[in-house]
Structure 1
Amino acid sequence: MSGKLKSRAVANADAMSGVVSVNEKILRECHGLYTEPETGLIALASMLNLTLLVPRKKITVMLMGNHSAGKSSFINWYIEEHIQRTGVAIETQGFSFITSGRKRESLTGNATLHLYPHFKPLQNFKGVSEYLNTEISTSKQKKFSLVTFVDTPGLVDGDMKYPFDVDKALLWLGELCDLIFVFFDPMGQALCKRTLNIVERLNEQHGDKLRFYLSKADEAGTESDRQRVLMQIVQELCKRPGLNKCGFDMPTIYIPNPSKPSRCVNQIEEVCKTVEKTINQTVQNTLNSLEKDCELITSTVERVLKQNDEMNRHNRRTWLKGCLFGLTGLLLPVFLLGPVAVVWQLIPEEQTLYVFLGLSLLSFLLLLLARYSFRTQRTLSKKQKRRLWEQREYVQEVVRQKKKQLYEEYLRQSIGEQDLS
């Protein structure tokens, strides 16, 4: 059995048995820790008026480039299934999401937006929804279970009209994708200005996501022809100030064909390594974000409880003040009319009325102050305090321990058990 057939057999056997990779398991479990209806971090955060981002279970890779640059062919090769139509006659007209699932299925635009809620703003781009679809494959090849590809319309110059604003849609998608692969076709379309313009704008905000490839490199002629094409593309890219950076890299790739061997160096496996590296980085970022969000929830609970204790102390102080003002205000008339009323004999008769009115006003003001002082701030009930402590304990003892366990599982893939402290 050849290596390719063997890898497919193993992958399909894993798919049938429900076996998932460690990275896939970690991302799924992290997602569940956030989305659990009652105990998930999103539910806990909403009670504390916090907003957390739910981690995704897959990375998103957008493929863009000129007309007939080989984007769809690359996807078919990667998943080892002919799922995307290829060829000049049938070119990708819209945006296609290619993802791994339980069974082969094709989804229309509305179903796609339900499947990917974070991509729902695409419906705000006039005409995009009609040119949006999803292809679900059962393939598990090359970490595909952790990847969603976005195949984009081929870009051309001139009077070509798209049924939607393709430039704006690509720029918006660039915000959400983890990687952006730009394919340059050596057969006369590599210097498409529309492609270069969009790449330049994407580079302004997302330069770290961009990867450039000379696709169909085996069709570029001799080695000298290939080098000339590469030089032309690199020179054109480097004319753009934002793209003129040190260490510019453009691997040459093409779809291997056993019946048509080529001497051209094929670096297509480097693309797979880039995807795998991004998956690993995403797993690390997800676990790190989980730790930060646990710390945020814990510190917020502690802050809320501390503020509640301060409010209770403040309420007690104001209550005592209210009692003092109230008693004084009530006892003042007794002082005026009671046994000590003999003091009135010491006051000249013509001033008695003024003194009486003044003391009465003082009594009234003291009673007003008492009423104002009895206005306490709202505090948490015992049930609410207990609920907050339970949340804190759950995050500390369950979620954080789970995060530690998942991190150990992740690290165990690359280092020995004895190296884990």
Structure 2
Amino acid sequence: MSGKVKARAAANAEAMSGAVPVTERILRDCHSLYSEPDTGLVALASHLQLSLLPPRKKITVMLMGNHSAGKSSFINWYIEEHIQRTGVAIETQGFTFITSGRKRESLTGDATLHLYPHFKPLQSFQGVSEYLCTEISTSRQKKFSLVTFVDTPGLVDGDMKYPFDVDRAILWLGELCDLVLVFFDPMGQALCKRTLNIVEKINEHHGDKLHFYLSKADEAGGESDRQRVLMQIVQELCKRPGLNKCGFDMPTIYIPNPNKPSRCVNQIEEACKTIEKTITQTVQTTLNTLGRDCQKLTESVEAALLEDNEKVRGNRRSRVRGCLFGLGGFLLPLFLFASALFGSTSPELWNALLGEAAAETLGMYLSPLSTLWSLLPGDCLGYVFLALLVLSALLLLLARSCFRTRETLSKKQRRYLQERQEYVREVVGHKKKQLYEDYLKQSVGEHDMS
């Protein structure tokens, strides 16, 4: 058994034994905290009319460049499996996602978009779905368990016709991917204008994602030939606005071949380190985002409960006002009618009906209005009673308007929000702190952690 085969067997055996790397476990646990159907943060956010996206469990690395630049060969070398076709022809005509899984499998376009829902907008690109697929490998080499590679079509100038808008599709993927590796080969198409145009556009907003490599460096001839090719590529790149930045770097890489030794310096491990660095940054970003989302949800729950309390108080005030206006609508006309009736009938009748003491008390309260009624001409009383009816109707309408209340949370809904708020504060907050400690323990000693 060769050394490479032994190394791969050891890596896969470690994966089968359940020894999950810390970074992989952290990203998986963070994703779980968001995506649990009932207790996840996404479910709580949806209840609060907020939108949260669960973090991805892997980073996405897009490889682009002219045809035969070595993109597929690099993927095969990284995962140590011949999963992508290679050759001098334009083999990669569509987009291929390469990811790790439980068994070797190939997925079509629809299955790919189901596996990667955040890439579903690719359906709007005419013709892309038919040229979209996923290759699942069981390899656990290097950091492949935390990486999804996106192999893009080889780019050429001239009259080459693609079955879809390849420039627009690559630009859209460049927005979404975490890392973009641009391969320039030293033969023929190194200065492909289509590649340079796309790189320039990606650089406008995501220059930090771009990393350039001179691939197949061992085929460039001697050292002087390699330097000349590098100079040509760098000069062409630096002509583009935004790409002529300080600290520009382009490592020379090639796929090691023990049967074909080369004296060329191979910096292919620099690409691996770039991928590992992106994974590290993604873990930190995911944990920081988890903390911010927890705070956002906690504050939103608090605001929802306070708003509901204010609605309850407002509804109580509305009911009181409604009762007052309602009583006024019923009692005021009756009171005025009673005062008119009291002034127009003999006291003996009221004494007989209510008793002398009650009639005297009623007369004391109604006497001002009774006097007012006695001063009015007889032909005005009809209009007054009509006005009383209108006033009564207005008061009743006001009562109905005041009785309109705002919808409030039920006891069950309030209890749900309070329980979720406590869960986010205590359980998720503690889990986030524990995950951060596990992550930092990889780099610093326990005595350095407070």
What is the TM-score of this pair, normalised by structure 2? 0.89
Letter in 2 for 1:323: C
Partner of 1:407: 436
Report the CA distance between 1:235 and its aligned residue: 0.6
> Among 372, 383, 388, which residue is 2:417 paired with?
388
Aligned: 1:342 with 2:354: no
Output one character per residue of 1:172-210: Cα deviation in whole Å (capped at 9) or x when no partner.
111211111000001121101111111111112221111
Secondary structure of 1:164's aligned partner: coil
Kindly report which structure 2 residues correspond to 1:22-33, keeping only aligned pairs within 5 A, or say none: 22-33=22-33
Secondary structure of 2:250's aligned partner: coil
Partner of 2:62: 62
Partner of 2:404: 375
Letter in 2 for 1:248: F
Alignment partners' CA distance in 2, 1:98 and 1:236 = 31
Partner of 2:240: 240
Kindly report which structure 2 residues correspond to 1:261-340, keeping only aligned pairs within 5 A, or say none: 261-338=261-338, 339=342, 340=366
Partner of 1:212: 212
Secondary structure of 1:320's aligned partner: helix
Output one character per residue of 1:282-330: Cα deviation in whole Å (capped at 9) or x when no partner.
1111111111111121111111110111111111112111122222222
Letter in 2 for 1:73: S
Report the CA distance between 1:395 and its aligned residue: 1.1
Secondary structure of 1:39's aligned partner: coil
Check conservation: 2:68, 2:90, Cα contact below 8 A: no
Alignment partners' CA distance in 2, 1:395 and 1:372 = 40
Partner of 1:14: 14
Partner of 2:143: 143
Report the CA distance between 1:6 and its aligned residue: 5.2
Alignment partners' CA distance in 2, 1:283 and 1:234 = 33
Alignment partners' CA distance in 1, 2:428 and 2:320 = 43
Aligned: 1:35 with 2:35: yes
Deviates more, 1:292-301 or 1:54-63: 292-301
Letter in 2 for 1:400: G
Letter in 2 for 1:119: F
Partner of 1:356: 385
Output one character per residue of 1:28-50: Cα deviation in whole Å (capped at 9) or x when no partner.
11111111111111111111111
Letter in 2 for 1:269: E
Partner of 2:348: none
Aligned: 1:163 with 2:163: yes
Report the CA distance between 1:342 and its aligned residue: 2.4
Check conservation: 2:31, 2:56, Cα contact below 8 A: yes
Report the CA distance between 1:414 and its aligned residue: 0.7
Kindly report which structure 2 residues correspond to 1:111-130, keeping only aligned pairs within 5 A, or say none: 111-130=111-130
Report the CA distance between 1:348 and its aligned residue: 4.0
Alignment partners' CA distance in 1, 2:301 and 2:129 = 43
Secondary structure of 1:242's aligned partner: coil
Report the CA distance between 1:64 and its aligned residue: 0.6
What is the TM-score of this pair, normalised by structure 1? 0.95
Kindly report which structure 2 residues correspond to 1:52-131, keeping only aligned pairs within 5 A, or say none: 52-89=52-89, 91-131=91-131
Deviates more, 1:48-57 or 1:119-128: 119-128
Partner of 2:349: none
In structure 2, the CA distance between the partners of 1:371 and 1:112, relative to structure 1 (3 Å rule), is closer
Report the CA distance between 1:171 and its aligned residue: 1.1
Letter in 2 for 1:143: K
Report the CA distance between 1:57 and its aligned residue: 0.7
Letter in 2 for 1:182: V
Check conservation: 2:67, 2:89, Cα contact below 8 A: no
Secondary structure of 2:249's aligned partner: coil
Structure 2 unaligned blocks of 5 or more? 343-365
Report the CA distance between 1:410 and its aligned residue: 0.9
Secondary structure of 2:142's aligned partner: helix
CA RMSD of aligned residues (A): 1.8
Check conservation: 2:64, 2:71, Cα contact below 8 A: yes
Output one character per residue of 1:44-67: Cα deviation in whole Å (capped at 9) or x when no partner.
111111110111111111111111
Deviates more, 1:342-351 or 1:199-208: 342-351
Alignment partners' CA distance in 1, 2:39 and 2:89 = 52
Secondary structure of 2:405's aligned partner: coil
Alignment partners' CA distance in 2, 1:347 and 1:354 = 11
Alignment partners' CA distance in 1, 2:47 and 2:91 = 49
Letter in 2 for 1:115: L
Alignment partners' CA distance in 1, 2:444 and 2:211 = 29
Secondary structure of 2:245's aligned partner: coil
